[in-house]
Amino acid sequence: MTPNPLQHRTFLLLLAAVSIAFGAILWQFHGAIFWGIVLAILFAPLHRRILRRMPQRENLAALCTLGLCMVIVILPMTLISVSLVQEATTVYERVKSGQLNFGAYVQQVVAALPSWVISLLERLNLTTLGELQEKLSTVAVQASQIVAAQAVNIGQNTLEFLVGFGIMLYLLFFLLRDGRTLALRIGQATPLDNDYKKKLVLKFTTVIRATVKGNIVVAAAQGALGGLIFWFLGIQGPVLWGVLMAFLSLLPAVGAGLIWVPVAIYFLATGAVWQGTVLTLYGIFVIGLVDNVLRPILVGKDTKMPDYVVLISTLGGMALFGLTGFVIGPVIAALFMACWDLFASSEDADPSPPRL
């Protein structure tokens, strides 16, 4: 029986209403759901290999994949997070007590500069040490307050974090076990041409894998290498500075150099020549080359977006979705470009004749 137009419109309105309501219910845990989907996509090839070895034991295969995911990804991230909170708290206490004074460090650097550089800075009004120290102290206090607030939030939101973490693991198990069936069901319900659906699904999964492997793995490598050299040179808080370098390396045209370059300049200006030289060479030829070596291997050429698109979408995604946005932003940008490419190709393939 074919429904009448009013019944059809009413059903579509009901479908939209319950979908929006369900999305509002899930929004509280959108981060856990998103990362469950991301990890399921990343570990799907491994799960298929395990499933081939035990084809009649889907639950056990999903549990094995989930366990490997926890060992490879979740456990190291937990240990790093604990170390990060401890070191961030230590740095905050040192800044608060005055033991860590960025203004004094700048004064030491300025005092070691050649006279012609100082005269140039004086023309630009950049050597007023009182104002500079005050500004740097203000920035340091504000940054320390942010760190302290985040540390307090971590303690206060422990229950919320554990609930979200449990939802992510629970969802990841079922996505690994039933992901293929669920994807087919969603594909059948999506009112698009099969060719469009295949291209969009392929683009989505490819961008997820490329973004996570290309961005996160490269960022983790640069952060780990940066933290290692900071530990070797005796700089306090190597995990904290390594995490900051990893975070900044997610942003094209910015990079981890915002952390290690000022430290290298400070070493060279204050007479620690070998530390400054080692850090400079290491930063250029080790940290700096990681991006050029690893990213093409992990990402490939097909999914590479222009750097300005990656930068804007990453910053915009983080502004809108928080830390998770550094993946969501580029994924939305890639899907946006893919949809418009499909639209343009369909228009070129079937041009409508001009009307006279």
Q: What's phi and psi for 190, nearest 5 deg?
A: -85, 120
DSSP string, 66-110: HHHHIIIIIHHHHHHHHHHHHHHHHHHHHHHHTSS-HHHHHHHHH
Q: Are 175 and 40 within 8 A, CB to CB?
A: yes
What tens digit of pLDDT does each residue of 65-102 get? 999 988 888 888 777 777 777 777 776 676 666 666 55
Q: Quick one: 300 exposed, middle or buried, by C-beta within 10 A (0-12, 13-18, 19+)? A: middle
DSSP state of 351: P
Q: Quick one: 158 exposed, middle or buried, by C-beta within 10 A (0-12, 13-18, 19+)? A: exposed
Per-residue b or e along 173-206, where b marks 16 or more CB atoms closer than 10 Å to that residue's CB: bebbbebeeeeeeeeeeeeeeeeeeebbeebbeb
Spatial separation of the C-alpha atoms in residues 304 and 206, rounded to whole Å = 11
Could you tell me which residues come within 8 angstroms of residue 25 by beta carbon, excluding any fewer than 6 positions away?
none
Spatial separation of the C-alpha atoms in residues 53 and 61, rounded to whole Å = 9
pLDDT tens, the chain, 356 aa long: 555 777 878 888 988 899 899 888 888 888 888 888 888 888 888 898 998 888 888 889 889 999 998 888 888 877 777 777 777 777 667 666 666 655 566 666 666 666 666 666 666 665 555 555 556 556 555 655 565 555 555 555 667 778 888 898 999 999 888 888 887 787 777 777 777 777 777 777 777 777 777 777 888 888 889 889 998 988 877 888 888 888 887 776 667 887 888 888 888 877 788 888 999 899 888 888 887 777 666 665 555 667 677 778 878 888 888 777 877 887 888 778 877 877 777 665 555 544 44
Q: Are 62 and 176 within 8 A, CB to CB?
A: yes
What tens digit of pLDDT does each residue of 267-288 get? 887 778 888 899 989 988 888 8
Spatial separation of the C-alpha atoms in residues 85 and 237, rounded to whole Å = 11
Q: Which helix (H) or strand (E) holds 119?
A: helix 115-123
Q: Are 251 and 182 within 8 A, CB to CB?
A: no
DSSP state of 72: I
Going by C-alpha positions, the residue among 355, 35, 32 that lies closest to residue 212 is 35
